[in-house]
Amino acid sequence: MEGSVILADDDRSLRMILSQALTRAGCKVRATGTLSTLWRWLEDGEGDVLVTDVMMPDGDTIELIPRIKKRRPDMPIIVMSAKNNINTAMRANQFGAYQYLPKPFDLKDLVSAVNTALKLKISSPANLQNNFSKSNGHLEDNLPIVGSSPTMQNVYRILSKVINTDFNIFIEGRAGTGKNLIARVLHDFGKDRDKIFLSINFSFISLDELKAIFAKNFENTISEPVGTIFFDEINNANIDLQNFILAILNKRESSPDTYENVKIVTSSSQDLKEAVENGRFREDLYYRLNEVSLVIPLLEERLEDIPELATHFLKEFSKNDIEPKSLTKNSIELIKKKKWSGNVREFRNFIGRLSLVSNTEVISEKTIKHELSMISTEESDVNVLEGSKISKSVELHLSHYFQSLGDSLPAPGLYQTVLKEVEVPLINTTLSLCNGNQIKAANLLGINRNTLRKKIKDYDLVVTRGKKLM
């Protein structure tokens, strides 16, 4: 690897380590601890690549990037920062940085980034031009995603790279991890933020309803332009819905005018690879939707974010208070020991309850222990349901679904949709239990064989004989 690198960081020890690593890789390195020296070297035409920290003693490097890009438009800028939140990553991207590296990082990642930047500068300098917004490029401070843990840093890094691209983005994460927030960030801070964000939840939707949504938003000449289509919980889409989405993607490629500049973002709370292997989800559709993958971590995988999340939610719930309430370090440790099966959404609700029931500025440990014990009681009730009547489990599932809608109502036709959601797995598992023998399955279900055949055809179910699917 040949080329010259300007390295800027106010930490002398880190400058030495990074300089040695880049020098060993074959680069010529000039290192400084101030923005003023950095700018002087750039004005003199030095350096092929800039590697810089964000916060320097004499200013914020990100604020300087537009000037650097104007003076040296072909210079790739790699931004590194210990202030690891989405705001930093997004600012770096929107101001024109080539890559964002959250500290701490592996030296191999830095060397690889510099190497790639040098190659691109020689072979395809146009790829290094920034996507700086026509607006002033400043981001709002109230970004919806909170957390500085290593797992979230990786999410921010990918977000900052794809936000202004045309890739189809696939967001995978369990319920409550924040998939909807990620989708909103991709839209609200992207180049088409002024257009409509069209969110379609596949938990309860029919093919006719889906067709009507697309007709209203894309076939109506007076409708407002759509910037992002969000296929939420795509894992719930049956084969008819999957076929329709695939047709939309094909039309998007063959007739770009219809879906011009529309970003497609998809989410799933289940592992779709397993669904593909089991034949429940089209493989071709999965890979079309999953051009770039974002995996959102569970809250238990980012426990170090709990103090920051708690502070954020306490501030959110204290709109009518003079000062937001707070938690002690011991309280934070108590909260970390809890298994948050509902992830960030459940944790947010818990903090909201604490803010409501506590009468003191610093929420007492006694209050927290009591509220945690109440959650444990609720979880015990849920565990009892697992071995209880199916109707109770369905009731619990529907209750959670209605709560997730907030003030909105589900789409019409809920009765038939719920019946289908129950009937399809019932028939599938019964056929599996009977090794695909439809006569045995019909007898076990207590329905006529012709009725079973009709349902298999209507639901487009795959029947496998002589092999158990369970």
User: 261 and 212 share a domain?
Assistant: yes
Task: Pick the last residue of a domain from 270, 295, 320.
Answer: 295
3-state secondary structure the chain: CCEEEEEECCCHHHHHHHHHHHHHCCEEEEEECCHHHHHHHHHCCCCCEEEEECEECCEEHHHHHHHHHHHCCCCCEEEEECCCCHHHHHHHHHCCCCEEEECCCCHHHHHHHHHHHHHHHHHCHHHHCCCCCCCCCCCCCCCCCCCCCHHHHHHHHHHHHHCCCCCCEEEECCCCCCHHHHHHHHHHCCCCCCCEEEEEECCCCCHHHHHHHHHHHHHCCCCCCEEEEEEECHHHCCHHHHHHHHHHHHHHHHCCCCCCCCEEEEEECCCHHHHHHCCCCCHHHHHHHCCEEEECCCHHHCHHHHHHHHHHHHHHCCCCCCCCCECCHHHHHHHHCCCCCCHHHHHHHHHHHHHHHCCCCECCHHHHHHHHHHHHHHHHHHHHHHCCCHHHHHHHHHHHHHHHCCCCCCCCCHHHHHHHHHHHHHHHHHHHHCCCCHHHHHHHHCCCHHHHHHHHHHCCCCCCCCCCCC
User: 333 and 450 share a domain?
Assistant: no
Residue 359, domain member (yes or no) = yes
User: 380 and 431 share a domain?
Assistant: no
Residue 394, domain member (yes or no) = no
User: 291 and 163 share a domain?
Assistant: yes
CATH of the domain at 113: 3.40.50.2300
Per-residue confidence band for 467, with pLDDT thresholds at 50, 70 and 90 = very low
User: 170 and 291 share a domain?
Assistant: yes
In the chain, how many domains are there? 4
User: 316 and 380 share a domain?
Assistant: yes
User: 194 and 272 share a domain?
Assistant: yes
Per-residue confidence band for 256, with pLDDT thresholds at 50, 70 and 90 = low
Domain carrying residue 289? 159-295
Residue 395, domain member (yes or no) = no
- Per-residue pLDDT, 32: 94
CATH of the domain at 425: 1.10.10.60
Give residue-wise pLDDT tens across range 353-387: 898 888 888 999 999 998 888 876 555 444 444 44
Give residue-wise pLDDT tens across range 161-207: 788 788 999 999 998 999 999 999 899 888 888 899 999 999 888 99
Residue 202, domain member (yes or no) = yes
User: 230 and 172 share a domain?
Assistant: yes
Residue 140, domain member (yes or no) = no
User: 62 and 173 share a domain?
Assistant: no
User: 122 and 58 share a domain?
Assistant: yes
How much is the average pLDDT of 230-253?
Answer: 92
Task: Pick the last residue of a domain from 71, 105, 128.
Answer: 128
